[in-house]
Structure 1
Amino acid sequence: MSAVAPARFTDPAVFGRVAVLLGGPGSEREVSLDSGRGVLDALRARGIDAQPVDGVPALAEAIVAGRFDRVFNILHGGDGENGVLQGLLQAFGVPCTGSGVLGSALTMDKIRTKQVWASAGLPTPRFERLPRGADLRAAAAALGYPVFVKPACEGSSVGVFRVLNEAALAPAIEFAAAYDGELLMEQMVRGDELTVGILGDVALPSIRIVPAGEWYDYHAKYVADDTQYLCPGLTGDAEAEIAALALAAFRAAGCHGWGRVDVMRDVERGFQLIEINTAPGMTSHSLVPKAAAQLGIDYADLCWRVLEATLPMEEAAR
């Protein structure tokens, strides 16, 4: 199991005034608000001067007014994870948790992320890019059932369809007709569903997700209390292999700071990379806190460490 170095700082004053960015107008608003409340309470409990800010426009106004020194980004999806926020803050010289413009923008787009992984020789299920108006039946026939259909740039299992055969494709076709963005169709992997949190240069212990239903949908993620989270999800060589793969996938996509890499273990093809989340959930059901706890890092300490990454290493010597 990987070791995590001790926190570099003990004085909350080193962080200055911290904006906890949450909410926003997107489809993941409620999850983000829930995550943000947890982060805000944890930072304040550690003595950090932290204030909530709802959405990027409100944050931009506050940054222009000079009200914050750094940002803890827990705005899931949309401008919180697509590089817009990161570019804005970079232009103003305000540090922000998580990945920068490149890693955020790339991994928000599942199709382009998979293209990068494929070019780097990293394993990911076969897929088809579906621009607006694409023929879903033809794409599914080319890939072979069963398949998943999902928006290329959404999260939290929003708009995801599990399609076992052609007769079950109708809801996805109806959704596609009304959806403005690109869709991703990928071969469904049959096997264990796993996720690996990343904290700095360390892969946290894997988590194997066992939903009570047939698959890990929005309800299983955020509502149900009967989803099982087994941590570590693997042992021995398999755990070492998935940790190395997750770190390689994270770095190939230009990510840094913290995040979460979702992986499936196919019964025949082994580990298959699914996607990266650069602002993972921090709710009571969320996975990165569960994995960090296995290394003795509680929720408040995790928030501290994520925020600590916004301070340059040389600060520790001051």
Structure 2
Amino acid sequence: MNASAVPAPRYDDPAVFGRVGVLMGGTSTERAVSLESGNGVLEALRSRGVDAHAVDGIPALVDEVRAGKLDRVFNILHGNRGGGEDGVVQGLLQALGVPYTGPGVLGSALTMDKIRTKQVWIASGLPTPRFQRIATRGDVRAAVQALGLPVFVKPSSEGSSVGVFRILAEADIAAAEAFARDYDGELLAEQMVQGGEYTVAILGDLALPSIRIVPAGEWYDYHAKYHADDTQYLCPGMEGEDETAIRALALEAFRAAGCSGWGRVDFMCDRDRGPQLIEVNTAPGMTSHSLVPKAAAQLGIDYADLCWRVLEQTLPGDAA
């Protein structure tokens, strides 16, 4: 798809949005990334004349809504437990009649839980790596051994590579076990896919060009995502029919998980089995290193235009 095939924004008057709260920060483990994303969105919307204001966390959001100060919310909170990707904020805003960006309650709650998302994908016949559920403070070693090395062990309900362990040998299991003893939540042991890492952003009914992620190190960890300047992002990540297929799969997986609006679907591409679904992000990062702006730019959609288009989805005629 080229830039000329992308529909134009439906509105050009920023007044249609009213007063917009850019919800950021919060108290999740992803607070710092959310603040960086949120400040970028805030600046972009203001550059287009939108009456946008920073709102830090859920208690501040409640105060602003009660005071009648917000007409809609651009949600860029990341994570759960004080973040905005687990359905709690969505339910709050929906109950109060305030439009918001991103998927609704069901899609947000489901995709925050990687285990349940994979169960839905499997039931839908969609490809995802084999996995084992590890109950809170459960037996990490048994789950790893059931899958066979190599595997990833990670929290079922965190993002931004928080608490992710790459298990290549028996000696690597101890660190994951130590983490599990103190972590208050389920863990996911997932068969490691040997192949390239890809992501596809969703904007309404449009799957943006795929991105192949090539970190300078051995894998795409927190540092590579948010700090490193030597990670390569190849966009589009595939060509021809492969590119068409991975975009179609991303849109199907996004919808199967109850999502609409905008988001990002992450893959690993197995050399023999092709693309394998890993997870969905319903409030993707919007920092200088983030992937959705990179994909949008390939279609001639700059950062401010992307923010505008996401916010447009809160207006009648688009899915919120």
Say whether the fold is shared (TM-score over 0.5).
yes
Q: TM-score, normalised by structure 1?
A: 0.98
SS of the equivalent of 1:47 reads coil
How far apart, CA to CA, are the structure 1 residues paired with 2:230 and 2:275?
25
Asked if 1:67 is matched to 2:69, the reply is yes
Say which of 12, 25, 28 aligns to 1:26.
Answer: 28
Which residue of structure 1 lines up, in the alignment, with residue 138 of structure 2?
Answer: 134
Identity %: 74
Q: Which residue identity does 1:195 align to in structure 2? A: T
| Contact 2:120/2:256 (8 A) holds in 1 | yes
Rounded to whole Å, the distance in 1 between the matches of 2:132 and 2:236 is 32
Report SS of the residue matched to 2:251: helix
Deviation for aligned residue 1:4: 2.2
Identify the residue that residue 174 of structure 2 maps to in structure 1.
170
Write out aligned runs for 1:1-318 (5 A).
1=1, 3-78=5-80, 79-313=83-317
**Does the Cα contact within 8 Å between 2:86 and 2:108 map onto a contact in 1?**
yes
Unaligned 5+ segments in structure 2 are none
Counterpart Cα distance in 2 of 1:313 and 1:136:
47
Q: 1:243-263 CA deviation, whole Å, 9 max, x = no partner?
A: 010000000001011000001
Q: CA RMSD in A?
A: 0.9
Is the Cα–Cα contact under 8 Å of residues 137 and 183 in structure 2 kept in the other structure?
Answer: no
For structure 1, list consecutive stretches of 5 or more residues without a partner in the other structure.
none
| 1:93 shift after superposition | 0.4
Cα drift, residue 166 of structure 1: 1.2
2:94 partner SS? helix
SS of structure 2 residue aligned to 1:272: strand
The letter for the 1-side match of 2:245 is: E
**What's the secondary structure of 1:103's corresponding residue?**
helix
Alpha-carbon distance between aligned partners in 2 of 1:207 and 1:219, rounded to the nearest angstrom: 18
CA drift of 1:159 comes to 0.3
The answer (yes or no) to whether the contact 2:121–2:128 under 8 Å persists in 1 is yes
Cα distance between partner residues in 2 of 1:171 and 1:138: 15
Given that residues 58 and 89 in structure 2 are in contact (C-alpha distance below 8 angstroms), is that contact kept between their aligned partners in structure 1? Answer: yes
Aligned partners of 2:317 and 2:275: how far apart in 1?
A: 34
Deviation track 1:40-80 (CA, whole Å, cap 9, x = no partner) reads 00000000000000001110111011100000000011140
Tell me, in whole angstroms, the C-alpha distance in 1 between the residues paired with 2:273 and 2:134: 25
Distance across 1 between alignment mates of 2:139 and 2:78: 30
Look up the SS of the partner of 1:169 in the other structure.
helix
Aligned length: 314
Distance 2:241 2:215 in 1: 25
